[in-house]
A and B are shown apart, each in its own frame.
Chain A
Amino acid sequence: MKYKRDPELIRNVLGKKIQFILGDIAIVYGGLLAGCSFFGGYPITPASEVTEGMARMLPRVKGTYMQMEDEIGSIASVIGASWGGAKAMTATSGPGFSLMMENYGFAAMTETPCVIVNVQRTGPSTGQPTLGAQGDMMQAKWGTHGDFEAIALAPSNVQECMDFTVEAFNLAEKYRNPVCVMADGEIGHLRERVVIPDEKDLKIINRVPATIDKKKFIPFTSSQTRNSKVPDFPTFGTGYHTYVTGLTHNEKGFPATDKQPDHEKLVKRITTKITDDLDKLTNVEKLYLDDAKTVFVTYGATARPAESAMEMARAKGKKIGMLRLKLIWPFPYKEIQKLASKVDEIIVPEMNLGQIVHPVREYAEGQCKIVSAPKIGGEMHLPHELYKYLEGK
């Protein structure tokens, strides 16, 4: 149904300003606050609570919730809804994320704003459905075929589940790209205190609609009204008669599949529209980096035991610090380079066999020692397990 964001209605449905809720539900809250008006989902542990929360709340704010027939249908409906003018999202976990990969690339190629939440569980395959992991971090970047630029955020607590979902919508709308919220089963199923931001403190970005003369409008080129590589959005039904295709297309949107320059021009624009803004996008938390000689580079749930291990070590006078990546993709390589130039060692704890340690190595190699600290099997690192990496420092 045609939707208009109604802050009063949304806040009425969300309830009290301070609540003690599940990470998955905080994602629902974030979506509602951002003005999400379409959710297409499919049940999957440990993301089902997002889908259930949307089923309860979205109709009450006059948005549309649909349980689709599978995850391929979920992401497809989300992309369709976005072209119909909705801010749209879906939520899933590993197996569903794998199913979404083709249309994830379609969203990137067609410059469709949308949000995909992945509450990660262990894999490969069905793995451990109820247990958390961080095994899909590289899939968010490389999972679909061909060249594109991913945008992905990784929440470390329940408050961030809400805040990063709002942020994911903002980035999706600003860059006209799919944006992933790479949560994990640990955070998704954790209950914590959250504070719902007041309307005046909420930053909401909406896509720039096409407004110029219909005959002069060019749908797939740098904006004709702003200094931006992101084109203005010709919502279906507004008379722009836009043809949207996953085929390599020219500026008019028409298939242009047999010439090298057409493809290069398109793909370079849709990737550099994001990477050009790396400095603006970079979002990290720095703890004790002024004096630290050994540093954890962390993200998501793993940041929590790493922070505890760091505090244990600092209590004993060790010079330990932490760099927490809130935005994983595009990779904040400048922060890693800066860090590597002043520390002796970077330790990368992850709930996988070593994924984000690879780009860390790519940018820090030769400048400091890089250690991967993996743990798999659906259990978080315990602080003392990570502390072991700090002994002798």
Chain B
Amino acid sequence: MPEVRTADKLNKKYLREEMWPTIFCNGCGNGVVLDYAFWAIEELDLDMDKTVFVSGIGCSSRLPGYINADGLHTTHGRSIAFATGIKAANPDLNIIIFTGDGDCAGIGGNHLIHAARRNIDVTVIMINNFTYGMTGGQLAPTAPLGSIATTAPYGNIEHPFDICELVKALGANYVARWSVTHPYQPIKSVKEAIQKRGFSMIEFLSPCPTAYGRRNKLGDIKKHWKWYDDNTILIEDYNKIMKYGTDEEKEKTKNKMQCGVFQDIEKPGFFEQYEKLVERLQEKQVKGGKK
């Protein structure tokens, strides 16, 4: 009989226990996402000596610290640019980036769009909790209209950022969104993202009861999870309703956040292309070679 894998066994294998306890609050979704990653890593049998976890600043960016592997905890918003350099120096490494919505979609937006455009061979796991949790609940660029934040005390009037749509439009090889209320699909999705050459990104909708929930009548974690159930929909279901549903059903569905795999394509990654360029130059190595 094969060995039974349990979350406990995975934790023992992959966690850097010296760093415990974590900084996360009760009800935080970061642990759930980390768990998905561990399951995916286990199923892929990824070599942890050849895997680097990179992050920026924020609660989710603390995750690499809890993983027993190389980790680079960088400056706010810049994790993808740092990761680009690591991958350039050693393309044999698997690079997994943990980032938050403020880190990735706010301050780090420019690095995100260009890494996606270049199809840099890294996996971005963006944990979207609609808020700047670590600094106490300021308005994030992903926060739904009307959200209350310490810096939007009268309700958010800005349109939220749909990061998956953006990254998809940039031609990234793999784009998906899930919520922490999805039990199994995310594990498969993280596996697909890690295996994918070129740029891959998964957005996780994840609760922050402390900084976001309390201010938005979702402080109770059960309510928070129910909010995700009520406000997300699988892409296939969304498409069906939009095609065949009644007007009432369409009206109810149109503003829900779609979950699933938005894009799964095969374009050569940046470093694959770069290697070809270097080979081409070696073949016709110009003599003398000044300028």
Residues of A bordering B, CB below 8 Å: 1-3, 12-16, 19, 25, 37-38, 40, 53, 56-57, 59-60, 62, 64, 66, 68-70, 72-74, 76-86, 88, 102-103, 106, 234, 236-247, 252, 254-255
Q: Which residues of A sit under 8 angstroms from B18, Cβ to Cβ? A: 252, 254
Q: Chain A nearest CB: distance from B195 CB in Å?
A: 19
Question: Please, which residue of chain B has its CB at the minimum distance from the CB of A28?
Answer: B291
Q: Name which of B89-97, B210-218, B236-244, B256-264 contacts chain A.
A: B89-97
Contact of A59 (CB < 8 Å), options: B54, B281, B288: B281
B140 shortest CB reach to chain A, Å: 20
| CB closest residue in chain A, given B62 | A255
Q: Nearest chain-A residue to B290 (Cβ)? A: A15
A-B contact pairs, 24 of them (CB 8 A): A3-B89, A56-B291, A57-B289, A59-B278, A60-B281, A64-B88, A66-B84, A73-B84, A73-B114, A76-B75, A79-B74, A80-B83, A80-B89, A82-B85, A84-B52, A84-B89, A88-B85, A237-B92, A240-B70, A241-B49, A244-B71, A246-B74, A247-B73, A255-B65
Interface flag for B28 (CB, 8 Å): no
Give the nearest-CB partner of A102 in chain B: B75
The distance in angstroms between the C-alpha atoms of A237 and B95, with both chains bound, is 11
**Is B73's CB under 8 angstroms from A237's CB?**
no
Q: Which candidate, B167-175, B177-185, B269-277, is the interface stretch facing chain A?
A: B269-277
Checking B82, B89, B277, B288 against A86 with a beta-carbon cut-off of 8 angstroms, the contacting residue is B89
Question: Closest Cβ of chain B: how far from A267's Cβ, in Å?
Answer: 18
Q: Which residues of B contact A255 (CB under 8 A)?
A: 65
Are B86 and A236 in contact, CB atoms less than 8 angstroms apart?
A: yes
A71 to chain B, nearest CB (A): 10
Note all chain A residues with C-beta closer than 8 A to B88.
1, 38, 64, 66, 77, 80-81, 84, 86
- Whether the Cβ atoms of A81 and B75 lie closer than 8 Å is no
Asked if B235 lies at the interface with its beta carbon under 8 angstroms from chain A, I say no
**Would A1 and B91 be within 8 Å (CB), given that A19-B290, A80-B83 are in contact?**
yes
Q: Which of B69, B81, B286, B291 is within 8 Å of A80, CB to CB?
A: B81
Q: Are B65 and A37 interface neighbours, CB within 8 A?
A: no
Give B272 Cβ to nearest chain A Cβ, in Å. Answer: 10
A238, chain B: closest CB distance, angstroms: 8
With a cutoff of 8 Å between Cβ atoms, the chain B residues found around residue A237 in the complex are: 49-50, 52, 70, 90, 92-93
Given contacts A70-B110, A102-B75, A245-B73, A77 and B82 within 8 Å (CB-CB): yes
The minimal Cβ–Cβ distance linking A62 to chain B, given in whole angstroms, is 6
Tell me the complex Cα distance, A69–B78, Å. Answer: 11
Contact indicator A69/B111 (Cβ below 8 Å): yes
Given A1-B271, A76-B78, are A64 and B73 neighbors across the interface (CB < 8 Å)? no
Contacting pair B289 A12 (CB below 8 A)? yes
Distance of A84 Cα from B54 Cα, bound (Å): 12
Give the chain B neighbours of A69 by CB distance below 8 A.
81, 110-111, 113-114
Residues in A whose Cβ lies below 8 Å from that of B135: none
> Judging by beta carbons under 8 Å apart, are B70 and A15 in contact?
no
The winner among B277, B286, B288, B289 for most chain A CB atoms within 10 A is B289
B26 at the interface (CB under 8 A from A): no
Residue B189 CB within 8 A of the other chain: no
Interface pair A13/B289, CB less than 8 Å apart: yes
**Contact A60:B289 (CB < 8 A) given known A80-B82, A84-B93, A236-B86:** yes
- Asked if A80 and B19 make an inter-chain contact with CB atoms under 8 angstroms apart, the answer reads no
Would you call B72 an interface residue if the criterion is a C-beta within 8 Å of the partner chain's C-beta atoms? Answer: yes
Chain B residues positioned under 8 Å from A244 (CB to CB): 70-73
CA distance A3 to B114 in the complex (A): 24
A239 contacts B49, C-beta separation under 8 Å:
yes
Residues of chain B within 8 A (CB-CB) of A238 are 49
Question: Of all chain B residues, which has the CB nearest A103?
Answer: B75
Separation of A33 and B91 alpha carbons in the complex (Å): 23
Which chain A residue shows the least CB distance to B114? A69
The chain B residue with its CB closest to the CB of A238 is B49
B246 interface contact, C-beta 8 A: no
Q: Once the chains are docked, how many angstroms separate the CA of A78 from the CA of B82?
A: 7
Q: In the complex, A12→B282 CA distance in Å?
A: 12
Q: Are B89 and A242 in contact (CB under 8 A)?
A: no
Which residues of the partner chain B approach A68 to less than 8 Å between Cβ atoms?
Answer: 81, 84, 114
B285 at the interface (CB under 8 A from A): yes
Q: Are A85 and B85 in contact (CB under 8 A)?
A: no
Told that A236-B86, A237-B52, A243-B70 touch, could you supply 13 new A-B pairs with CB distance under 8 A? Answer: A14-B290, A15-B290, A38-B85, A59-B277, A59-B278, A68-B84, A72-B78, A80-B74, A81-B88, A84-B88, A85-B90, A103-B74, A241-B68
